[in-house]
Structure 1
């Protein structure tokens, strides 16, 4: 794997495996990479440098008009949105690597899917705001808006209170097995556990146990390691 100076010219290049347009510090890119690593799949990385605004260039907008990463190319198929990409990979490779969704027991699959939507609509909105304010802004030289932080943390706490009760009954959110429902939370958690907001997770013992367990997965550690993307 390598960095490419002209990444968008490679869209038609024939390579083995999936092609991923992404950035190795992007939460949404991490989400897809974690699924690929859990499945033991190779991929061909094409770097879109979000820090220099490459996602806003006409060449990338021709690939994803929303100007967001990641984008997955599987032959002539092009997919955007990290959760949709993750579900696609899991479905195609359901028999390989970590089983991230129950494809046989529809009641269990329904529970797993429910928690995936809870992550998307309940956890992600406040967690993303806090990640932006407390992690991304300081990294890019911007000033944190602590008024926003103080308004948003109670929203996240309400979600974590519900998680704490759920995790009293099972090791993971949707049962006793690690699934996409847990994995989808990891990108924001990775950033937030290096900020003052980590206390919200740590003061809830079952949430803290869950966070520690899912963050320790080898596939996750590789997903958010930029060296694994650049293969230095």
Structure 2
């Protein structure tokens, strides 16, 4: 069993690691009331009502057969104030993975591939705004991006506000490079790259890496109608 961490993106397979549970505000969306034991140390607030999710929550865990519908509804309720979202799907559906990220999900675990014991670490990682993916979810997203025609959106994206260095960093990020790989390529420190990314997120008016990548590719999350 192993976990492969790539700085801001963590590919989770079947790892089990001891994680110190921080104090976090976690909303666990579970329509049937089921609660994964591995999240118990984080004392999540279990609810089947999406309106109970607060913008001030550190992370929302959507624990269901498929989670994209919950992510869509949350985005419709909270918009860009939606907290970081971890989908913990009990089954795999390619369309569900794509739809979840199109509507602002940060992380996606497929529990038929990644055991529930990994949820604790994934929830903490997601609360930091970093992405955590089961390999099958990562593969699905990469294939989807490869298939998608990159057309120019009708309204200009706020790329013009970025410096040439920030543009370099974003181009490397969206092509799958890790923070340390970007730092090595540009002869920078990892801390400098992270600082640049924080500035980039502020300029692009996003809160996390997944939103920045989708925005850069011209596919912004859209609220449900």
Please state which band the TM-score falls in when normalised by the shorter chain: under 0.3
Structure with the bigger RCO (C-alpha within 8 Å, sep 6+) is: 1
| Bigger proportion of residues as strand | 2
- TM-score normalized with structure 2 length: 0.25
Return the index of the structure with the highest Cα Rg.
1
- TM-score normalized with structure 1 length: 0.25
